[in-house]
Structure formats: structure tokens, C-alpha cells
Amino acid sequence: MRRSLLFIPGNRPNMIQNGEVLPADALIFDLEDSVPAGDKDAARDLVAGALRALDFGSRECVVRINDLDTKEAKTDLDAMVRAGIHTIMVPKVRGAETIRSIASLLSDAEGAHGRQEGSTALIALLETAWGIENAMEVALASARVTGLALGGEDLSADLGCPRTKEGWEIFYSRARLVMAAKAAGIDALDTPFTDVHDFEGCERDALFARGLGFTGKLCISPFHLKAIHQAFAPSQEEIDRAAEVVRAMREGEKAGKGAVSLRGKMIDLPVVRQAERVLALAKAAGLLDDKELDHDPR
């Protein structure tokens, strides 16, 4: 479940420690933009130590490494795999070749540190025109890629247009990224909302992203987590409909039926998957427990 993915600067110990209690679905420890050039080594040591020593519970631990074109990237990858990272976020992905290079380096690092090959997942951060136009090939470049994420700030700079709260300048990029992610069956993760003090604006932005098909949103402030979770929580009507689909499927399975219908309409696999996702979101938002699903109100 990746509704909210919170960036944490990799060189700030107090903020890293707070990750143990923040209600984010994923924590992205950043070794890239938020760390000054002279402190890359320090941030790497700090994040690696925290990954080994602290208990982040069920939160997915992600590290944004430095750009593959820098001398830091390979050292970042090796140190993070050694420390047991779940997922690497790759910045400024331009095309499939970037992903294939990272995947090859990861295989080397996994072998060197006794981790199963392929066990480290990737999120590709698309933040250039090249990256957006190549979204589909990036999504399919490796089985490690479990999500495409949009970097709206750098993208706007690359497009040479001002970044606005309305976000029309990144509308095409959002839609293109969602389409590629959905076609590949992976997560579509929206760009962060950058006005830290505008909670309503953040919820509106997240609702808009959800409406386009995004499955979650990057986030630069813990104060935005509540707004994002509210935006990605399904409505009661959606929950009821999804529960009905899942119950019908369960009853059909019990009765040994190959195909199941609900109110005269066939239920096919995409409908069931969508219903299961809605129920998972409802559970994550505290709106549903398994007992409620077992109880048929009819």
C-alpha cells in the first residue's frame, strides 16, 4: 500500500528518527537533492545506520539515490543494499537504459551482500520530458520496477514553464505516467504538493491525482499525510459496492461457479481487483475491518 510516500532528508538524524512514528505508508530517505554535495558520504552513513538499527515497522523504506551520472550513485546503491533497503528510488530516469544499468548494479550488490537477486525494488522518478515520453519503456525495463513517480518541480523547469498550484503545466505528464503505470500493472505516484502550510490545497491536489488514476502521492511534509490519506480513502458508497463484489465472488467460489454475476452483470477479474483495492484502501483508512466484510447486511 503506497498512498503516501514521505521524503526525509538523509542528513537529518532527528527527522530520520521521527520516521519510526510518522503515519506514512513509505519513507523516502533522500541522498539526492536535500543533501549538500559535501555531505553525501555523511548522509549515506547516517541512513545506512538508521536502516540497520531503527524499527520503521510496516512502513516501506525507500532511498532516493543520487543521479546515475554522478560518482555517488554506485556507492549509494552498494551501501543501501548492504543495509537491507526495500526499494530504491532512481531520480531523473530518462529511459529504459537507466533502469537496466541500475538493475545490473543492484544484482552485483545483492550478490556481494548475500541478498536474494531481484529482492530490491525500484521506483522510477520521471522528472524530464525524456522520462515522461519514455514512461512505458521505463515501466517495462525490469521486473524490479514497482512504481513510476512524477517529479513535477524539475519537470516544469525542463519544460521551461512556471509551476502552478493548478498544475495544468503537468497535466499531460500526469496522464501519460498513469497510463504507462497502469498498462504495466505498477503504482502511479503523483508529484509532491509543495506548499507545506496549505492542507486544503494538498487534499484537492491529491483528490485530483486520485481521479486521474494515481495510486499514491509523494510528500515533502508530515503535515500533508492526513490530507493525502483522506483524499485516497474511498467513499462509503465505493466501499459498499466493493464489498458486494467481493462477497459475490466468495459465494460463487463456494458454490464452485466459474463465472459470477451481480445484479445481472458478470463480474470479471479487473472488477474484482478494483474492488479488492478499494477494500484495502478502506482498511488502511480505518473505515473497514474483516468482520464487517464477512457480515452481509442483506
Counting contacts by CB under 8 A, is residue 37 touching another protein? Answer: no
Rule CB under 8 A: is residue 49 a binding residue for another protein? yes
Q: Is 52 exposed, middle or buried (0-12, 13-18, 19+ CB in 10 A)?
A: exposed
Select from 105, 22, 122, 11 the least CA-distant residue to 62.
122
Please identify which residue in 21, 37, 53, 269 interacts with another protein, judged by CB under 8 A.
53
Nearest distance, CB of residue 120 and another protein, angstroms:
21
Q: Which of 36, 42, 118, 257 binds another protein (CB under 8 A)?
A: 42
Residue 94 burial (CB < 10 Å; 0-12/13-18/19+)? buried
Residue 29 is classified by DSSP as: E
Q: Does 111 bind another protein (CB under 8 A)?
A: no
Residue 12 binding another protein, by CB under 8 A: yes
Please tell me whether residue 13 binds another protein under the rule CB under 8 A: yes
Report, in Å, the least distance between residue 79 CB and another protein.
Answer: 11
To another protein, the closest distance from the beta carbon of 28 in angstroms equals 19
Tell me the window of 41-49, 133-141, 165-173, 253-261 that interacts with another protein (CB under 8 A).
41-49
What distances in angstroms separate CA 197 from CA 3, 221, 226, one per listed residue?
A: 20, 9, 13
Task: Pull the grid cell for residue 293.
Answer: 466484510
Which of residues 43 and 260 has its CB atom nearest to another protein in the complex? 43
User: Is position 17 an interface residue for another protein (rule: CB under 8 A)?
Assistant: yes
Radius of gyration of the chain (CA): 20
Residue 45 CB, shortest distance to another protein, in Å, is 4
Q: Which is nearer to another protein, 74 or 204 (CB)?
A: 74
The yes or no reply on residue 14 touching another protein (CB under 8 A) is yes
> Are 23 and 225 within 8 A, CB to CB?
yes
Stretch that binds another protein, among 39-47, 118-126, 180-188, 288-296 (CB under 8 A): 39-47
* 54 is a site residue for another protein (CB under 8 A): yes
Residues 124-143 that bind another protein (CB under 8 A): none
Residue 44 vs 224, nearer CB to another protein: 44
Q: Which residue in the block uniquely carries the three cell numbers 550478490?
A: 111
Nearer to another protein by Cβ, of 17 and 261: the residue is 17
Start-end of H helices in the chain: 13-18, 40-53, 72-83, 96-112, 129-133, 135-139, 152-159, 171-184, 199-212, 225-232, 236-254, 269-284, 290-294
- What dihedral do alpha carbons 32, 36, 42, 44 form, nearest 10°? 0
* Residue 168, helix vs strand vs coil: helix
**Cβ 141 vs Cβ 100: under 8 Å:** yes
Compute how many residues bind another protein; rule: CB under 8 A: 15
By the rule CB under 8 A, 48 interacts with another protein = yes
The answer to whether the beta carbons of residues 246 and 276 sit under 8 Å apart is: yes
Nearer to another protein, 18 or 107 (CB): 18
Chain residues binding another protein by CB under 8 A are 12-14, 17, 38, 41-42, 45-46, 48-50, 52-54
